[in-house]
């Protein structure tokens, strides 16, 4: 879910074509989760094959990556490793919420409420080891590089961006900026016409580019102080202070130069403090575990394996997949004319 910093950060809408020729480090779990929640039937159930296996993520990865390639974007997917110990409570809370959503979904089915069925089906979505393995398999067949992060995939993508190995980190979460990515791209996988939750209205969604340096300068902050704001509001690693939102946190961080003094004020004013290990959480954001064991190189897709995997194993339409492969082939040929990929 990440930390909510939207009220104090500014970005700009861009078109996919503005990322032409650039590598982008994609938080794999984040984008897979988006596909699982958004690519669904009217009653909220995900796409499945004849054996009942979920295929929403495969549909999203195949067709969206073709769209990336057609726009000259070079994606690399970064998968999560072991989460830090202090994320355990958040993971347990998410599991509980998903179980509660499953109960509400079954009740909505009983009442025949399609809108609630879709809502609670989305909220009960989980990424299983099987889904992760299938995603990696398809990306490998498509020739798209995969990186296994030692810890958080989002942190690894951010570090790669800070090193200049990729242009930007791609995620819906603002945590990428806390981890040090100079540029965050949001909405890359959900670009287009989207329905508003619980409303019969649609909006156009475009990719958003957020620059870390420009925002820090505008707010008069260092990255460390942006992390201070995050922990006051609440992150995946700690509960925030009830009553403190991003704008209030910004005022407090700019008022106090010493973090311990800030904590004393918060405890006195709001009657609660941050966890005992908050220093470790801050350090984790500023210096996250990462690896340099990767190579950024697009490979020629194995079209036969893609057809076998999607059509024979998971019941995708042969015509649609072949049409997608034709688009992918043309897109790669265009990229080859601009740079040496193979």
Going by C-alpha positions, the residue among 215, 193, 213 that lies closest to residue 204 is 193
- State whether residue 185 is helix, strand or coil: strand
Give the pLDDT confidence of 31-50 residue by residue, as tens digits: 999 999 888 887 778 899 99
Give the pLDDT confidence of 229-282 residue by residue, as tens digits: 999 999 999 999 999 999 999 999 999 999 999 999 999 998 888 988 999 999
Question: Where does a domain end: 286, 302, 330?
Answer: 286
Residue pointed to by tokens 């801050």 = 282
Lowest mean pLDDT among 35-39, 85-89, 293-297: 85-89
The verdict on residue 297 lying in a domain is: no
The verdict on residue 186 lying in a domain is: yes
The verdict on residue 332 lying in a domain is: no
Q: Do 171 and 210 fall into the same domain?
A: yes
**How confident is the model at residue 98, as a pLDDT?**
65
Q: Do 132 and 255 fall into the same domain?
A: no
Residues whose CB falls within 8 Å of the CB of residue 136, separated by 6 or more in sequence, listed in order: 79, 146
Q: Do 136 and 235 fall into the same domain?
A: no
- State whether residue 311 is helix, strand or coil: helix
Give the pLDDT confidence of 137-183 residue by residue, as tens digits: 999 999 999 999 999 999 999 999 999 999 999 999 999 999 999 99
Q: Do 155 and 194 fall into the same domain?
A: yes
Give me the domain span that covers residue 29.
12-215
What is the CATH classification number for the domain harbouring 166? Answer: 3.40.50.1010
> What is the rounded CA–CA span in Å between residue 171 and residue 206?
14
Selected residue with higher pLDDT from 207 and 106: 207
**How confident is the model at residue 43, as a pLDDT?**
77
Q: What is the DSSP string of 46-98?
A: BPB-TTS-B-HHHHHHHHHHHHHHHTT-EEEEEE--PPPGGGHHHHHHHHHHH
Total domains, the chain: 2
> What is the rounded CA–CA span in Å between residue 21 and residue 74?
7
> What is the rounded CA–CA span in Å between residue 315 and residue 196?
30
Percent of the chain topping pLDDT 70: 85
What is the CATH classification number for the domain harbouring 252? Answer: 1.10.150.20
Question: Where does a domain end: 194, 215, 236?
Answer: 215
Percent of the chain topping pLDDT 90: 70
Torsion angle of C-alpha atoms 271, 275, 280, 284, degrees rounded to 10: -90
Selected residue with higher pLDDT from 60 and 195: 60
Give the pLDDT confidence of 5-14 residue by residue, as tens digits: 999 999 999 9
Contact 153, 80 (CB under 8 A): yes
Q: Do 57 and 104 fall into the same domain?
A: yes
3-state helix, strand, coil in the chain (%, to 5): 50, 10, 35
Going by C-alpha positions, the residue among 21, 18, 82, 113 that lies closest to residue 331 is 21
**How confident is the model at residue 276, as a pLDDT?**
87
pLDDT class of 342 with cuts at 50, 70, 90: very low
């Amino acid at each position: 879910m990440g930390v909510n910093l939207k009220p104090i950060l500014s970005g700009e809408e861009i078109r996919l074509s503005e990322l032409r020729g650039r590598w982008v480090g994609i938080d794999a779990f984040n984008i897979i989760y988006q596909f699982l929640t958004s690519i669904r039937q009217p009653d909220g159930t995900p796409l499945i094959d004849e054996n009942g296996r979920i295929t929403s993520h495969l549909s999203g990865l195949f067709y969206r990556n073709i769209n990336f390639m057609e726009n000259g974007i070079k994606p690399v997917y970064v998968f999560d490793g072991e989460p830090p110990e202090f994320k355990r409570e958040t993971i347990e809370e998410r599991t509980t919420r998903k179980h509660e959503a499953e109960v509400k979904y079954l009740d909505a089915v009983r009442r025949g409420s399609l809108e609630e069925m879709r809502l609670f089906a989305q909220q009960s979505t989980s990424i299983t080891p099987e889904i992760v393995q299938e995603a990696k398999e398809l990306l490998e067949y498509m020739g798209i590089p995969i990186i296994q992060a030692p810890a958080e995939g989002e942190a690894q993508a951010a570090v790669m961006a800070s090193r200049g190995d990729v242009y930007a980190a791609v995620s819906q979460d603002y945590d990428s900026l806390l981890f040090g990515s100079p540029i965050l791209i949001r909405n890359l996988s959900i670009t287009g016409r989207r329905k508003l939750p619980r409303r019969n209205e649609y909006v156009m969604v475009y990719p958003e580019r957020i620059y870390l340096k420009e925002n820090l300068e505008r707010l008069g902050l260092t990255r460390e102080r942006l992390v201070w704001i995050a922990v006051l509001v609440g992150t995946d690693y700690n509960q925030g202070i009830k009553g403190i939102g991003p704008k209030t946190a910004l005022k407090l961080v700019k008022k106090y130069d010493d973090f311990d003094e800030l904590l004393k004020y918060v405890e006195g004013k709001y009657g609660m403090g941050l966890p005992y290990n908050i220093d470790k959480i801050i350090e984790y954001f500023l210096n996250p575990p990462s690896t340099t064991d990767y190579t950024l190189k697009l490979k020629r897709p194995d079209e036969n394996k893609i057809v076998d995997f999607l059509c024979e194993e998971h019941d995708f339409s042969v015509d649609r997949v072949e049409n997608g492969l034709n688009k992918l082939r043309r897109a790669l040929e265009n990229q080859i004319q601009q740079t040496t990929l193979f």
